[in-house]
Each structure stands twice: as C-alpha cells, then as structure tokens.
Structure 1
Amino acid sequence: MLKRLQNILKNHSETSENHLDPLLQTHYFKANRTKVMDAIEELVRQQSHYRLLGSSKERGELSFEVTAPRKAFAVITATSLRPFKTAVDINVTSESPLPIDFGYSRKVILSINEGLKGKLEFIGTSLLENN
C-alpha cells in the first residue's frame, strides 16, 4: 500500500528490470531493434497528443512530448539482446507545478506498452535472468 502511494505521489515513472510494480517491469518483444523502433515511432506518430522530438535508431532511443491532457516528456529505449529479443524501457516525467502527478506518468507508460503489444509479439517482462 505504501509503495502504491509513493508511485502516485511523484511526477516521474520509469520501467526497470526488477521494478516492484509488475506493470512497470522491462518489456521484451520478439523482434529486432529496428522493427521495435519502427513500431514505437509509428505508435507515437499515430497519437494526436504525442509529438515526436527525436529518434535515433542506431542508439535505440526515441523521445517525445505528451501535449494533452497533461504535458509530459518521455524517452523510450530499445536494447537488442539477441537477434529477435529486444528489451524496451520507458521513462516519463510529467510537467506540473506540483511535484506529484497522481499516477499520470505511470498511465502514459502503461498506454505505450499496450500499444506496443498490439504491434509486436510480446514475450514477457523481467526476463533478463532467463536469457
């Protein structure tokens, strides 16, 4: 309960391999990094309230701005582990006069992950130790 409250009372959320929240663990997809980056870019371009700021397929990074209903800045990193196994981590910081966003940055991450699951074959979360 305390961890859930802490997640709501901040303006930043990110995924990681061993995150306490299972929905915010690193997601793995059965695709190469180029295909994952193409899917991420397509997802961002399809959303009218997302504005692509930069994309580097060579580095596996993409940044964009969320313009509505609240402003936020997001960075997505795709890392190839094998030819057809790519990890995706997302980092979102919301812009607010208050130091809290009531879970908005987490919702942005969940929305992106769901969109990617619709475009790519999802393998699972937190799979690094199961190489």
Structure 2
Amino acid sequence: MGLLQNIQRFFSTHTETSENHPISELRSHYYKVTNKKAIETVQEVLKRTEGFEVTSVSEERGEISVNVLKPKKALLIVTIISVRPLETAVDFSVSTDTPLPTDFGYSRKLISTVYNKLDREMTFVGTGIHSS
C-alpha cells in the first residue's frame, strides 16, 4: 500500500469493507448460514450492543441501518448478501460524524469489533474468498 493511500485512509471519516480490500481485516466476511438467518443474527447482535440503535431493516435488499450513538456518533450500514444457499457475505460501510477531517481509525475499529461479534455468533467461513 502506497504512502498516498495511507495518508488518505488516515484523513478519512468513512470506511467500507469489500471483497478485494487491500487491508485483510476489511475484506468481506463469509458465514455458513442462510441469508434470512444472517439478517436475524446481525440484527440481534447490533441490538444487544450498547450505544447502537437499529433504525431500519430491509430484508429484500439485505440492508440494516444503525445509528451508533457512543462512544462516537456514526452511521453504520450493514449489507448481507446470499452467495449460495448456505453461504452469506456481510459487508459494512461506516461514516463517522465528526467536525475533524479524520476519525483517527474509529470507523475501522468499529468494523473489526462488529465482525468479531458476528464471528462468535455464526459459523465463519473466511474473508474475501471470492476475490480474483
């Protein structure tokens, strides 16, 4: 990863996961579970997390919207996609509400924290397993 990319990542208030992300901890996580069960489990985990408020759930689109109220305010969008009948991918998009040009890695830590909770609740298959 180049110096410019590291600087851009530092001066950012937004972090997303993806299949081919250059940072391994920000690659899509795959679980051995149905799409419906994944949506239910993610929803339960987020509701149990202190400072999280689930604002909307769209099962048809596979999206869950969450307001993170503490320790810092942020908007978390969870995307759940069924790849195969028993293989589901979970991705995140986090935008931190801060007047500063950086969130000092908060959005990245938030993603790691939620992934760790999901890994304990569902059967984890791997990260970025369908990347080229």
Instruction: Trace 1:38-117 onto structure 2 (pairs within 5 A).
Output: 38-117=40-119
Contact 1:66 1:72 in 2 (8 A): yes
1:51 shift after superposition: 0.5
Structure 2 residue aligned with 1:33: 35
Q: Which runs of 5+ in 1 are unaligned?
A: none
Q: Say whether the 8 Å CA contact 2:20–2:131 is kept in structure 1.
A: no
Length-normalised TM-score, structure 2: 0.93
In 2, distance between residues paired with 1:103 and 1:13?
9
RMSD of the alignment, in Å? 1.4
Counterpart pick for 2:12 among 10, 13, 28: 10
- Structure 2: stretches of 5+ with no match in the other structure: none
Cα deviation for residue 129 of structure 1 reads 4.2
SS of the aligned residue for 2:45 comes to helix
What secondary structure is seen at the aligned counterpart in 2 of 1:23? helix
Q: Deviations over 1:6-28 (max 9, x none)?
A: 32221000000110100000110
**Higher mean displacement: 3-12 or 106-115:** 3-12
- SS class of match (2:54): strand
Aligned in 2, Cα 1:129/1:7: closer, same or farther, shift over 3 Å? closer
Q: Deviations over 1:11-56 (max 9, x none)?
A: 0000001101000001100001111111110011101200111001
1:74-128 C-alpha deviation (Å, 9 max, x unpaired): 1000000110000111000000001210100001110110010010000001111
Asked if the contact 1:65–1:73 (Cα under 8 Å) also holds between the matched residues in 2, the reply is: yes
- Secondary structure class of the residue paired with 1:111: helix
Which runs of at least 4 in structure 1 moved beyond 6 Å after TM superposition?
A: none
